[in-house]
Amino acid sequence: MMLHIPQVLSKQQVAHCRQVMDAAQWVDGNITSGPQAALAKNNMQLPETAPEARQLGEMVLDALERSPLFISAALPLKVFPPLFNRYAGGQSFGIHVDNAIRGFPNADFRIRTDLSCTLFLAEPDEYDGGELIVEDTYGEHRARLPAGDMVLYPSTSLHRVTPVTRGARVASFFWLQSMVRDDGQRSMLFQLDTSIQQLVARLGNADAQVVQLTGIYHNLLRRWADS
Ligand code: NI
């Protein structure tokens, strides 16, 4: 499943990110790649421990905590500190799979990557190309979203970013470990939660069937979640 989460950051927050990023020092994006991805990857990144990256990363994490859609779909246990990248002048990222386990440098922090996230920080009309293409068992899914919008997709997928042939594509990217490891179980919980929320809007919280379904949701979560 590829999920579009609109307006994670406001346009003001995006403008703030861009200002900080424009003034920062960029390095070769391969600092965070495994050896196979390094062959495919051609972009620039803010160093993981750069103060600019950490400051903006906190802003992104705060915004995600306030997004019911993100929480419901991802059921996050641990979120990797967001990173920031930039593609320009024909740069691209060929087809690859993200490392299963990822640690943060010089910190006691390690996650299993269940979901990958890309938060777009440039408007689609600022650049050509730069499309994120994710391949799963249901074929190809494409994302090229307004600044401030995010896409969430299973880290098990093969994916790539097409060459940026005009302007610059800047984004935040990161991974998370979900409380529910299995994609299928997590997707079912998301669908059930979404349906319950729609029923609540029609029938209210106190409706007997709404209460029963809410119980089933929590009992499935209890069965499948690690916390
Ligand atoms: Ni990737």
Q: Could you tell me the residue ranges of all domains in the chain?
A: 3-178, 183-224
Q: How far is the CA of 96 from the centre of ligand 1 (A)?
A: 6
**Residue 94, helix vs strand vs coil:** strand
**Residue 1, helix vs strand vs coil:** coil
103 pLDDT band, cuts 50/70/90, is: very high
Mean pLDDT of 141-151: 97
Query: Which contiguous run of DSSP H or E holds residue 92?
Result: strand 92-96
Give me the pLDDT at residue 107, please.
86
Q: How far is the CA of 218 from the centre of ligand 1 (A)?
A: 32
Percent of the chain exceeding pLDDT 90 equals: 89
Which conformational region is residue 167 in: left (phi greater than 0), alpha (psi within -120 to 50 degrees), or beta? left
Apex CA 177: angle with CA 101 and CA 71, to 5°? 160
Q: How far is the CA of 157 from the centre of ligand 1 (A)?
A: 9
**pLDDT tens-digit readout, 130-140:** 999 999 888 99
CATH for the stretch 3-178: 2.60.120.620
Tell me, yes or no, if the pTM score tops 0.85: yes
Mean pLDDT, the chain, integer: 95
Q: How far is the CA of 174 from the centre of ligand 1 (A)?
A: 9
Mean pLDDT of 200-217: 96
Mean pLDDT of 197-201: 97
Can you name the CATH fold of 183-224? Answer: DNA Excision Repair, Uvrb; Chain A (4.10.860)
